Amino acid sequence: MTIDKSMIILPLESDTKAKALEALCRRVASVHGLDEKKILDAVNEREKLGSTAIGHWVAIPHCRLDGLGGVYTALGVSQRPIEYDDQSVRILFLVVSDKALPSEQVRTLSQIASFCNSDVCRRLLLDAKSPEQASSLIED
């Protein structure tokens, strides 16, 4: 799994779930020339189905849209806990994928969940001082 440093917000300064999702959607939209509102609407619709918080300070909000041609992943790491439904999170991975690529989305979500399953990986990510450092941790 790789995440380009341009897709990493560190520190994520949002203090609510809504603001965190907006910041991550804005980053994906600006870097890839996509419609921010369309992404945010799709993410919020997915969140209505159930929380994407997976425990251990981590959430993996995600959505699928037509015509993207790929899977885009952004990461936000907050210094302070963000109330995210019934949990507190500090690490948020946003996955935005093309509806025509369901297996790629599942693979990406699985890779993120596996990475975040490690206490050591989560701690190193929380301690990262720059997007470059966070990106290299994820690649290793």
**The CA-based dihedral angle spanning residues 7, 138, 15, 50, taken in that order and rounded to the nearest 10 degrees:** 100
Whose CA is closest to 65, among 90, 32, 88, 43? 43
Successive 10-residue mean pLDDT values, the chain, 140 residues:
92 96 97 95 97 96 94 96 96 97 94 94 95 89
Question: Is cis: bond before 11, omega within 30 of 0?
Answer: yes
Its pTM stands at 0.95
User: Structural domains in the chain?
Assistant: 5-139 (3.40.930.10)
Whose CA is closest to 31, among 61, 65, 8, 64? 8
